[in-house]
Amino acid sequence: MAAPHDCAELERKIQDLQQQLIQAQKMSTVGSLASSMTHEFNNILTTVINYAKLGLRHKDAATREKAFDKILAAGQRAAKITTGMLSFSRRGNDTREALDLVALVQEVLVLVAKDLQMHRVRLQTHFEAEPVVAEINAGQVQQVLLNLIINARQAMEAGGQMTIQVRRNTEAGVGEISVRDAGHGIPPETLRKIFDPHFTTKTPDAQGQGGTGLGLSLAREVIEAHHGRIRVESTVGQGTTFTLKLPLVGVATTSRAEPAEKLVKKA
């Protein structure tokens, strides 16, 4: 039998390995987005260079002001992408806070918009007008979402439509984020395995970029640690929908004893 200090050491090692797996899956995501981000930065630089040239050529105040506006907007867009990517790549902490799921999804979309466009994926979004607040670790849920979106895009080799929805399901007391693709779908015998660690059907591409097969197993772990659920529906040849259900802040689902307004904490 292991001595107590051995147990503590083993636990530390397991935690460390877990962190390494999370990091490996993140890097797989970063790898999938690298090419589209390089393109996007190239476009931003082209905008900056062209408007700087315009401003130098034309001395009038109105043209120069317009040029500065365009350069500023392009710079701010680039900063938004790098900040998002850096905070995603960093090793996160374990703290949770009450956050709007719509805002979280919108932040993730900044990172993938170009990637979807390059792969001829049309994105349709349906967002609840009011904030949908859940107590979450933003970094972890962001990683889950990026994996779902990249999985969905990879399932549509020839492009197609992706639909992302955020809605409040007050009856069930959950906020729901769903990612639907019109891709190749998942056959039933595969569907049973997709949440298994290291299960992947993706083979390395020309850049050696394959899947780690960790995306969905980590997703399930993250969502269940948040007392949420992850659901999948898939039809071969038609597409797949993944839905995350996260408990809404302050909404009691088991107790009906108190009037609802007393149970709603200020978000």
User: Which residues make up the interface to Mg ion (CB under 5 A)?
Assistant: 147, 151, 215
Distance (Å, whole) CA 186 – CA 233: 9
**238 HSE (CA, 13 A, CB side):** 4
Q: State yes or no: residue 183 binds ligand ATP (CB under 6 A).
A: yes
Q: State yes or no: residue 194 binds ligand ATP (CB under 6 A).
A: yes
DSSP sequence for 175-235: EEEEEEE-S----HHHHTTTTSTT---PPP-TTS----S-HHHHHHHHHHHTT-EEEEEEE
- Total Cβ atoms within 10 A of residue 116: 20
* Size of the residue set binding ligand ATP (CB under 6 A): 22
Least separation in angstroms between CB 147 and ligand ATP: 5
Residue 235 binding result from ligand ATP, Mg ion, none, given CB thresholds of 5 to 8 Å by partner type: none
Q: State yes or no: residue 199 binds ligand ATP (CB under 6 A).
A: yes
Q: Strand 133-136 vs strand 97-100: parallel, antiparallel, or unpaired?
A: antiparallel
In the complex with Mg ion, which residue's Cβ is closer, 127 or 199? 199
In the numeric block, which tokens belong to residue 82? 């790098």
Residue 181 binding result from Mg ion, ligand ATP, none, given CB thresholds of 5 to 8 Å by partner type: ligand ATP
**85 HSE (CA, 13 A, CB side):** 19
Which residue is closest to Mg ion by CB?
A: 215
Place of tokens 């015998």: 189
Q: State yes or no: residue 214 binds ligand ATP (CB under 6 A).
A: yes
Residue 142 binding result from ligand ATP, Mg ion, none, given CB thresholds of 5 to 8 Å by partner type: none
Which range binds ligand ATP by CB under 6 A, 12-20, 114-122, 146-154, 244-252?
146-154
Exposed e or buried b per residue across 49-66, where buried means at least 16 C-beta atoms within 10 angstroms of its C-beta: eebeeebeeeeeeeebee
In the complex with Mg ion, which residue's Cβ is closer, 102 or 116? 116
Residues 232-261 that bind ligand ATP (CB under 6 A): 240
Angle at 173 between CA 172 and CA 177, to 5 degrees: 85
- Binding ligand ATP (rule: CB under 6 A), the pick from 216, 222, 223, 246 is 216
Which range binds ligand ATP by CB under 6 A, 44-52, 58-66, 132-140, 180-188?
180-188
Q: Strand 174-181 vs strand 239-247: parallel, antiparallel, or unpaired?
A: antiparallel
Least separation in angstroms between CB 183 and ligand ATP: 5
Least separation in angstroms between CB 143 and ligand ATP: 10
The values of phi and psi at residue 83, to 5°, are -60, -45
In the complex with Mg ion, which residue's Cβ is closer, 183 or 215? 215
Q: State yes or no: residue 155 binds ligand ATP (CB under 6 A).
A: yes
Interacting residues toward ligand ATP by CB under 6 A: 25, 28, 147, 151-152, 155, 181, 183, 186, 194, 199-202, 211-217, 240
